[in-house]
Amino acid sequence: MAAFMVAALTAAATAQPPSSTTPDRFPDGAGKSALLKVCSNCHTAESVIQTLKTRQEWSDVIDQMAHFGAEASEQEFDQILAYLVKSFSPIKVNKASAKELEAALDVPAGVAEAIVTRRSDSGDFKTLDDLQKVPGLDAAKIEAQKARIVF
């Protein structure tokens, strides 16, 4: 395990930084600056977000990095966790509750309820097009989160 972490950290440390023309993959939000500051001490912050992870998985990663010497206050680690969960966790549209969808998709409660109702009435969503047909759902919000949506 230690050899894997050393290899991963070495690969991340030697990776080329993104060019100035690369779009910022980190959406604005509380915790972004803490993530970039803390995670960039040992590797590129980009290497952190290669795969989507659940809240528990992100928590485990943060615990591991703290164990390996990442330096941050408890408040910064909490901000980083909240930011990673909000920006880089899967949105399971066929399993999430209305409350979870409301937060993850940044939609009003009524729209989140409409998603759950449509799913209950017609079965699981199979594509983004299916999801975008939910009345009141802003297609741009779905498009902005498409990389995180899991069916």
Task: Report pTM.
Answer: 0.75
Domain boundaries 29-89, corresponding CATH code: 1.10.760.10
pLDDT at 14: 40
User: What residue ranges of the chain have pLDDT lower than 70?
Assistant: 1-23
82 token code pair? 């909240």
Q: Is 96 helix (H, G, I), strand (E, B) or coil?
A: coil
At a CB cut-off of 8 Å and minimum separation 6, what does 132 contact? 139, 142
Is residue 71 exposed (0-12), middle (13-18) or buried (19+ Cβ within 10 Å)?
exposed
Query: How confident is the model at residue 139, as a pLDDT?
Result: 92
Please state the domain extents for the chain: 29-89, 91-150
